[in-house]
Amino acid sequence: MQSKSSKDSAESPTDITEYYKHLSLFWTDIIHLMSSKPQALTSIGPMRAFAANSKKIAVELIEINENLLGFNQCITEYYKQLSDTWGISQKKVNQKVPEIPHDVEQIESVKRIWIDIFDNDFTELFDSKKFGANYGNLVSKELELTKHWNNIANVILQSVNLPSKEEVDEVYKEIHSLKKRVSKLELELKKEKRKNAK
């Protein structure tokens, strides 16, 4: 693979990411191949396992960057929506309260106006499709970042011979299924006993 930077100066962030991903994988693989033979003679411990899997970490870290880009876009939009609404609400308050309050009663009524206007406007925002859609995307991007983080943690867990999240989940699933079957049988048995006792 050749670097495209000389040919095309207006590359997309995805192209750049792909290039660095390739670069990183190339050197990780080469170094791993070059060093694996002497290592193999001496090591079966966690560092050996970690070295063998370190390529996965490099891939995850590079892909995190891609997701960070999307995440940043969503979070910027999120704060923009909040600050725009704040600005609009504050303008409305300023129009409704032209003078600075100068006694306790006035402060109370200004506070009431402020809270009502802000609550109404922000509820309208949170109720809107544009907020819901962006918030959904924001959470989704955050989950993608978490997924990469989980994958990195899995590499570390495997290097010390501990089960990965997927392996633990499989066990949980099996336990859940067994418990469900036992509970249903127990319940049926209780019902039968009750029927027979009558």
Partner 1 sequence: MQSNSNFDPKIIEEILKFSKNVIEAPKFVSAPDEISLEVTPHKVVQQIDKTRLLYYKSINKTKHKTPLLISYALINRYHILDIHPEKSWVRNLLEQGFEVYMLDWGTPTSMDKYLDFDDYVNGYLESSVEYIKNQSSTEQISLQGYCTGATIATAYAALHPENVKNYIATAPVIDGWKDTTVISNLAKHMDADKMVETIGNMPPEFMYYCFSVLKPFEQGFEKYVKFFKNIDDKKYVDNFLRVEKWLGDTPPIPGELFKQWIKDIYQKNLLIQNKMYVGDELIDLRKINMPIFTQVAVGDHLVSPECSMPLHYAVGSEDKTLKIYPTGHVGMIASSFSQKKILPEMGQWLAQRS
Query: Would you tell me which residues interact with partner 1 (CB under 8 A)?
Result: 94, 97-100, 102-104, 107, 111, 114-115, 118-119, 122-123, 126-129, 131-133, 135-136, 139-140, 143-144, 146-147, 150, 169, 172-173, 175-177, 179-180, 183-184, 187, 190-191, 194
**Cβ distance to partner 1 smaller for residue 22 or 91:** 91
Q: Is 29 in contact with 55 (CB distance < 8 Å)?
A: yes
Q: How far is the CB of 97 from partner 1 (least distance, A)?
A: 7
Q: How far is CA 23 from the centre of its chain?
A: 26
DSSP state of 103: S
**Cβ distance to partner 1 smaller for residue 30 or 143:** 143
Q: Is 71 in contact with 140 (CB distance < 8 Å)?
A: no
Q: How far is the CB of 108 from partner 1 (least distance, A)?
A: 10
Q: How far is the CB of 6 from partner 1 (least distance, A)?
A: 39
Length of the chain in terms of residues written: 198
**Cβ distance to partner 1 smaller for residue 6 or 94:** 94
**Cβ distance to partner 1 smaller for residue 20 or 126:** 126
Q: How far is the CB of 197 from partner 1 (least distance, A)?
A: 9
Kindly report the number of other CB atoms within 10 A of residue 154's CB atom.
20
Q: Is 5 helix (H, G, I), strand (E, B) or coil?
A: coil
For residues 121 and 128, give the distance between their C-alpha atoms in angstroms, rounded to a whole number: 11
91-92-93 Cα angle (round to 5): 90
